[in-house]
Amino acid sequence: MKAQDKIKIAEARLKAAELRVRAADMDTNRAAHIRQAETPAYDGQAEVCVGKAGQIGARAEHLRAEADLITARAESEVQDA
């Protein structure tokens, strides 16, 4: 494997890692919304928090999938070259 190929894969992995860190941060935020839904401060807050937690969870999964795709594309391009 050429040095350029190794650099390309490393850059892709770095970008993917950054996305996974953002996803982990979203997981923490999602958990906070779920905890708040368990002890709502006002009527209707539980529904709002559960809905928001679902949105945050979906976005985190999207980021993880994007990270996997970035890594797979870089590795595939290197193998095809």
Along the 81 residues of the chain, how does pLDDT read in single tens digits?
Answer: 789 999 999 999 999 999 999 999 999 999 999 999 999 999 999 999 999 999 999 999 999 999 999 999 998 988 876
Counting the structural domains of the chain, the total is: 1
Range 8-13 contact pairs with CB under 8 angstroms and sequence separation of 24 or more = 8/74, 8/77, 8/78, 9/71, 9/74, 9/75, 9/78, 11/74, 12/70, 12/71, 12/73, 12/74, 12/75, 13/71, 13/74
For residue 46, what are the domain limits?
3-80
Question: What is the reported pTM?
Answer: 0.87
Q: What is the DSSP letter of 81?
A: -
